[in-house]
Homo-oligomer: A and B are copies of this chain.
Amino acid sequence: MATVLVVGSVALDSVETPFGKADNVLGGSGTFFSAAASLLTPVQLVGVIGSDYPVDRLEPLRARGVDLSGLERAEGSSFRWRGRYRHDLNSAETLETHLGVFSHFSPKIPEPFRAAEYVFLANIDPRLQLDVLGKMTRPKLVACDTMNFWIESRRSDLLALLGRVDIITLNDGEARQLTEEYNLVRAARWILARGPKHVVIKKGEHGAFMFTERSIFFAPAYPLESVFDPTGAGDSFAGGFMGHLARSGDLSEGGLRRAMIYGSALGSFAVEKFSIERLLEVSAADVAARVNEFRRLVAFESELS
């Protein structure tokens, strides 16, 4: 069982969905990732919070094995995001973004973190992602995420990053924007040609693909009767995915496919409540049970019985 290091945002979210409202709840890619991955393996979180951040609310994460010693506390206000989802829960409408201390974020990797074997560079400036990579001793597996803003404004850095990661996770819209290919198979091939050996394209409620040079794997989304708040689903997916890889150490094609299912399972829990609430409730046994439900969801051969 190895540790996963994640560098990402630690924010306060205010979210409105057709089912309710939450104000100033824990959010950010680093937070969701940590909450998900820590169900499977120890996590080291690198991020920054402002002087107004309710640090005590991170205590459940620490209790579950998230090392917060890389969480820098800076003078100023924390990263805040306010968004809304309409009936079609697949796309968020951003109402407000206050970057606060996050706008000057320069990740400091504590000495003991530098040996981490599994590294997830969540959605931050590709220059910072590259910078973090330069500080790591010798990671066994590096994955990154990104978003439309960086694809537009930091294209060359992002391309440089692609040459240095094993895996990229991004959503279908981002894959299309990055590659200028509408078709996802072609988009994936474009990205594969630029470095990563695995390209994970997330389609929200429509599941996720993992492309390699020679194979395509599809993991469905878990069909939930009620999706409460989609915020953080992608980062929770990444947490489940990397968490499983670090726990199992199995980087074979089969191992990566199983990691995709763990990602889907954790993503499906994340959306059942606001913030990381549901991720904090579930146990390793709940995760295992949901992974089994994925087996039943796609089984059409003898394994059905």
Contact = CB atoms under 8 A, between A and B. Distances in A.
A260 interface: yes
Interface in A226-256: 226-227, 253-254
Interface in A138-165: none
Contact of A220 (B218, B253, B257): B218
A253 B304 contact: yes
Interface string A264-305: 000000000000000000000000000000011111110111
A295 B301 contact: yes
Which secondary structure dominates where chain A touches chain B? Answer: mixed
Contact of A183 (B227, B258, B260): B227
Interface in A211-227: 215-220, 223-227
B261 A300 contact: yes
Contacts of A260: 300
A258 to B, nearest CB: 5
Interface stretch (A32-40, A108-116, A202-210): A202-210
Contacts of A206: 203, 206-207
B225 A300 contact: no
A298 B217 contact: yes
Contacts of A226: 183
Contacts of A217: 297-300
Interface centre among A184, A298, A305 (most CB of B within 10 A): A298
Given A182-B87, A220-B218, A303 B301 contact: yes
Interface in A154-202: 182-186
A296 B210 CA distance: 12
Contact of A225 (B186, B224, B305): B186
A129 to B, nearest CB: 28
| 10 closest A-B pairs by CB | A257-B300, A206-B206, A185-B225, A218-B220, A298-B298, A254-B304, A218-B297, A258-B300, A185-B223, A216-B223
26 contacts: A87-B182, A88-B182, A183-B224, A185-B223, A185-B225, A186-B225, A206-B207, A207-B207, A216-B223, A216-B297, A217-B297, A217-B298, A218-B223, A218-B297, A218-B298, A220-B220, A220-B298, A254-B300, A254-B301, A254-B304, A257-B299, A257-B300, A260-B300, A261-B300, A301-B303, A303-B303
